[in-house]
Structure 1
Amino acid sequence: MSSKIAVMADPDTVTGFMLGGIKDGFPVNNMEEAGDKLKKLAKEYSIIITTEEIGDNFREIIDKISSESALPMIIEIPDKKGSVERESDPIRELIKRVIGVEMVE
């Protein structure tokens, strides 16, 4: 797997990341499209940035991908609507899994 970064999200979020320098952006317009695209990107990219909404809709797929290997890292960010209220923070869990240290507030 190469060390490439992809962003898969709504078109506005993808545009923002591409303006910031991410070369590989994949806008998705519906959740059916997002699930198939996520599986394909996981085979080719080492970091996948996606939105919390997509993450919540495909939690089982993301958990399966993450449990099989350290890469790809799937990073969930808030979309243009804002952050989603959750019991656990996926970024905190990712850091704990990758480096073995739990962040304390």
Structure 2
Amino acid sequence: MKIFCISDNIDTNIGLRLVGVDGLVVHGKEEVIEVINTVRNNRDIGILLITRKLAKLVPDIIDDLKLSANLPLIIEIPDRHVKKDEDNEYITKYVRESIGIKV
């Protein structure tokens, strides 16, 4: 299975390409929807990385993908503009919502 990244900046895309992760840089809601639909139809992709900024553009689609048992697995990754404290809070919130334990 492959990993694919949808990013809003070239730096994230280049960094992930260095470790073998293909991806695209997009900026608009329509572009995000188009790429997500393409990835959903590609059976080779098992994990979809998407920056939080882009995930916020299409929360209904992201939630639908996360709640379904189908591939790809959706993982939101921090933007390069996120402050350190916000990133730590995001991880804590994600764990709390996922397993119901306050960390």
Which bracket does the TM-score occupy, shorter chain normalised?
Answer: 0.7 to 0.9
Q: CA offsets, 1:44-69, max 9 Å, x none?
A: 22100010011111110111222232
Question: 2-side partners of 1:36 and 1:91: how far apart?
Answer: 26
Matched residue, 1:5: 3
The aligned amino acid for 1:20 is V
Alpha-carbon distance change, 93 to 48 in structure 1, aligned in 2, over 3 angstroms: farther
Superposition map of 1:28-43 within 5 A = 28-43=26-41
Residue number in structure 2 paired with 1:92? 95
Work out whether 1:76 is the aligned partner of 2:76.
yes
The change in CA–CA distance for 1:41 and 1:12 in structure 2 (over 3 A counts) is same
Tell me which residue corresponds to 2:51.
51
Unaligned stretches of 5+ in structure 2?
Answer: none
Tell me the secondary structure at the aligned position of residue 15 of structure 1: helix
RMSD across aligned positions (CA): 2.9
Q: Which runs of 5+ in 1 are unaligned?
A: none
Q: Which runs of 4+ in 1 moved over 3 A?
A: 87-91, 101-104
Q: 1:36 Cα shift?
A: 1.1
Question: Does the 8 A contact of 2:96 with 2:102 survive in 1?
Answer: no
Quick one: percent identity of the two aligned structures?
A: 29
